Amino acid sequence: ATFYLWLKIPSRFSSLEFTELLMERCGVIVAPGIGFGSCGEGYIRIALTVSEEKLEEAVKRIRADNLISREFLNAKIKCKC
């Protein structure tokens, strides 16, 4: 087991672009998947080492910004790696 969560991002973004948008628009900092090798592209990595309250706040900010569509949030995610 690990304390990281890997999440697929919308295909219109690179993982670096998406992390920059999250930081600029939502004040949420995550790691771009590409930083962990080419298989990480298309994903972000979230460290689950912060409090549950901080994670909930991050999710609220991202949802409020509409950076990710509700359809995407509700879609089943399949890993290709």
pLDDT tens figures, 59-68 = 889 888 887 7
Cα distance between residue 29 and residue 75, in whole Å = 23
Cα distance between residue 3 and residue 48, in whole Å = 5
pLDDT tens figures, 30-45 = 999 999 999 999 999 9
Band of residue 14 on the pLDDT scale cut at 50, 70, 90: very high
Q: Is the pTM of this model over 0.85?
A: no
Band of residue 2 on the pLDDT scale cut at 50, 70, 90: confident
Give domain limits for the chain. Answer: 4-74
Q: Give the list of residues 6+ apart from residue 65 with CB closer than 8 angstroms, or none.
A: 25, 26
How much is the pLDDT for 59? 86
- Cβ atoms of 32 and 26 within 8 Å: the answer is no
Which CATH topology does 4-74 take?
Aspartate Aminotransferase, domain 1 (3.90.1150)
Cα distance between residue 34 and residue 42, in whole Å = 8
Cα distance between residue 64 and residue 45, in whole Å = 20
